[in-house]
A and B are shown apart, each in its own frame.
Chain A
Amino acid sequence: MKPAKFAYYDPTTLDEALGLMGQFGDQARPLAGGQSLVPLMNFRLIRPAHLIDLNGVGELSYLRADDGTLRIGAITRQRELERSAEVAEGWPLLREAAAFIGHIQIRNRGTVGGSLAHAFPSAELPVAMVTLDASMVLRSTGNQRTVRAADFFLSFMTTVLEPGELLAEISVPPLPVNAGGSYQEVSRRHGDFALAGAAAVLALDANGAIRHARLTLTGTTPIRAGQAEKFLLGQRPSEELFRDAARRATENLEQDSDIHASAEYRRDACAALARRALAQAAVRAVERIKGTPQ
């Protein structure tokens, strides 16, 4: 239960960190909050030769709204996301998702970028970011590219990040006008890995019909339920509608069986959570409309 040897670097600027990442390529691992990486190292499931500690790179730690877009530096702590008044006001779904991550002691260290780059299937932030249509800014020495959250996750614990590349910023666009969002999950014990999760965003038109719908479920990578989203458009929110949409979203949903839950249970749980997330998003969309001067 002790990590294998590694060479340790503690850069203080992003340029310096990118230089080290480029120099050591796939022999290097960036260390953010360490709440997933260090357990893997303690178990010796991974043995990076070079560990690049990003905790001293102050320019990667920020949380601010610019013209309605939320910009999150990659090493911003999950607890900051949870405590931010701006997040609670503009992106309540994100605050809800953050509050499900592990425990307060974990969120005090765990980072937003770290959780996304780790890309664990039951993780909350990947599902939330796909639902919010966030973009990831990836940096390497002399290079920068922006990838949509939906394209960032490739498979189990695998993203589009190349050796030498770092996730530097996550930018979350504003929700559509008068939209409501919700994040729901179920786990065996409070703070455990999620067995299933769902996130939804709904916006209504002046007649109360759904004009914009997003629904995402947990899976090996976050799964956007495109067919169910199309089905919802133009319809009026009702319990029956959301039940039907949740069924459509999950009838062919691929889920894994393991010691914690069967695939069948996960599929059923995803359907129940999808229904609840849609219902809560609709209630919040109505609240938005009522709260906004017309």
Chain B
Amino acid sequence: MSTRQVRVTINGREYTGEVEPRKLLTDFLRDDLGLTGTHVGCEHGVCGACTILFNGEPVRSCLLFAVQAHGADLKTVEGIAPNATELDPLQEKFWELHGLQCGFCTPGILLTAEALLKEIPNPSEVEIREWLSGNLCRCTGYQNIVTAIQEAAKTLSERRT
């Protein structure tokens, strides 16, 4: 079995691993590196639970092979909070406004939302829903997710001024 070395930066920290080329990036993150915050849902690019940031852009990590991440800069849900005791404004608002129930889709949604707020700091509801269309949530009906993202956008823009 031929393997390849992967060196990748995740949440600002460097990781290396030895993988078979067919290993999906999701499985590399979870099984090899122990970063189990990234969830595995459908494994064919439909649900968005495994969404991570790949060089800053939200992508499905189940549709990438770990070897393709060699040299890339990734961000997973573990990298969102500024430290072990504080939450990021997005996490804070999801918690406060019931933006989650079972929480399975939440890691992917948080990363999509983070990329959205970086590109469009004050998104309209239509824009939020457009971005969220790539992440399935079967509990909340999305309403509180949309509200949480709107409120987080306010907090972040207040911080900037």
Chain A contact residues, CB within 8 Å of chain B? 1-8, 10, 34-35, 38-39, 42-43, 51, 53, 55, 79, 102-106, 108-109, 189-191
**Which residues of the other chain, B, contact A42 by a CB distance below 8 angstroms?**
24, 43-44, 62
Q: Give 7 A-B contacts (CB < 8 Å), ordered by A residue.
A: A7-B21, A8-B67, A53-B67, A105-B58, A105-B60, A109-B60, A189-B133
Chain B contact residues, CB within 8 Å of chain A? 1-2, 4, 20-22, 24, 27, 43-45, 48, 51, 54, 57-60, 62-65, 67-68, 112, 129-131, 133-135
The reply to whether B43 and A191 contact each other, CB–CB distance below 8 Å, is no
The reply to whether A1 and B58 contact each other, CB–CB distance below 8 Å, is no
State how many angstroms separate the Cβ of B109 from the closest Cβ of chain A.
11
Contact of A190 among B64, B67, B133 (CB under 8 A): B133
**Which residues of the other chain, B, contact A190 by a CB distance below 8 angstroms?**
129-130, 133
**Which residues of the other chain, A, contact B67 by a CB distance below 8 angstroms?**
8, 10, 53
**Which residues of the other chain, A, contact B1 by a CB distance below 8 angstroms?**
5
A105 and B63 alpha carbons, distance in the complex (Å): 11
**Which residues of the other chain, A, contact B130 by a CB distance below 8 angstroms?**
104, 190
A102 and B67 alpha carbons, distance in the complex (Å): 24
Residue ID in chain A nearest B23 by CB atoms: A2
**Which residues of the other chain, A, contact B4 by a CB distance below 8 angstroms?**
8
The reply to whether A4 and B22 contact each other, CB–CB distance below 8 Å, is yes
Residue ID in chain B nearest A103 by CB atoms: B134
State how many angstroms separate the Cβ of A152 from the closest Cβ of chain B.
25
**Which residues of the other chain, A, contact B135 by a CB distance below 8 angstroms?**
105
The reply to whether B68 and A105 contact each other, CB–CB distance below 8 Å, is no
Residue ID in chain B nearest A39 by CB atoms: B44
**Which residues of the other chain, A, contact B43 by a CB distance below 8 angstroms?**
1-2, 42
**Which residues of the other chain, B, contact A43 by a CB distance below 8 angstroms?**
44
Known contacts: A8-B4, A39-B44, A39-B45. The answer to whether A34 contacts B57 by CB under 8 A is no
The reply to whether B22 and A102 contact each other, CB–CB distance below 8 Å, is no
The reply to whether A109 and B63 contact each other, CB–CB distance below 8 Å, is yes
Known contacts: A39-B63, A106-B134, A190-B130. The answer to whether A53 contacts B48 by CB under 8 A is no
Interface centre among A42, A102, A104 (most CB of B within 10 A): A104
The reply to whether A55 and B60 contact each other, CB–CB distance below 8 Å, is no
**Which residues of the other chain, A, contact B21 by a CB distance below 8 angstroms?**
6-8, 51
State how many angstroms separate the Cβ of A10 from the closest Cβ of chain B.
7
Residue ID in chain A nearest B64 by CB atoms: A34
A105 and B133 alpha carbons, distance in the complex (Å): 9
State how many angstroms separate the Cβ of B5 from the closest Cβ of chain A.
12
State how many angstroms separate the Cβ of A34 from the closest Cβ of chain B.
5
